[in-house]
Structure 1
Amino acid sequence: MLATLESVELLEQAEQLAKMVLESDIAEQYQICLYKLQNNKESQRKINRFVSLKELYEEVQRFGKYHPDYKKIMTQIRENKREMDLDPFVAEFKLAENDLQDLLDAISIIVGGSVSEHIKVPTGNQFFETQTSHSSGCGGGGSCNCG
């Protein structure tokens, strides 16, 4: 592909945008929360316990309620998930992660809209849905005539 002046400028602007995101307060807060989470032994213990139980959970899911340890594993996974989610470092990280995702979603909407108002940007956040997107979110692609 031949590099045109326009494509070089576009790449430079994309790099500038990426630098702005990385230097934002939101990205900085995300990095701080990630560091705290990764360096807290109790939080890591909860996460590792949940991950190991998740492997058991996936095995149990193959057989469903007919697995001999179904109730035990299902109870353990829910209890450990709750314990992990209530950990202050995990909760703080999840909030920072959501804030960063919201920033990236907003940027995607702006970039997509600058190309065409008909571009649909999958953000996973109904707040950012555009008027041209399927408003009910039923996934039918408009075939149900609800949008």
Structure 2
Amino acid sequence: MVTTMTNVDLLQEAYDFGEVITSSEIFYKYIAAKKALDKNREAQGLIKHFQTLKEKYDEVQRFGKYHPDFKQVTKDVREWKRQLDTHPAIADFKQAENELHDLLTEVSLIIADAVSPHIKVPTGNPFFDQGGCGGGCGSGGSCGCG
């Protein structure tokens, strides 16, 4: 790839735009929520215990319903997941993380659409990722589905 001054300028603009995002209120909220979560001993204990349960769950899933501990391990994982999701520090972090993800997705969609309406941007949302045609044809929109 031959780098021209235009490419260098474009990359610099991208870095500058990254700095705009990292100086936004949404980003600061995310960082504050992450720090609060990292300092919260109770939440960290829940996370560590859940990770242990998740390892057991992964092992049980290899054998499915035929594993002798399948029902108990599956039940334990669901209960601990609920505890994780309802813990205030974890819930605040997840909300801040989702807001930052939504901002980055929106920016990505705007940039991609400015270049071409046929560019696919993975959003994490199947409705947007499919482009309205049920899964993406890979032809760059020439099939008329996107």
Query: Does TM, scored on the shorter chain, surpass 0.5?
Result: yes
Instruction: Look up the match of 1:47.
Output: 47
Provide the aligned length of Structure 1 versus Structure 2: 140
Q: Residues 1-147 of structure 1 correspond to what in structure 2 (within 5 A)?
A: 1-125=1-125, 129=128, 134-135=131-132, 138-139=134-135, 141=137
Deviation at 1:118, TM superposition (A): 1.4
Deviation sequence 1:55-89 (CA, Å, 0-9, x none): 00000001111111111111111111111111001
For structure 1, the residue ranges without an aligned partner over 5 or more in a row are none
Identity among equivalent positions (%) equals: 45
SS in 2 for 1:36: helix
Please identify runs of 4+ aligned residues in structure 1 that moved more than 6 A.
Answer: none
SS in 2 for 1:81: helix
Alpha-carbon distance in 2 for matches of 1:121, 1:139: 13
The RMSD of aligned alpha carbons is 2.2
Q: 1:140 to 1:108 in 2, by over 3 A?
A: closer
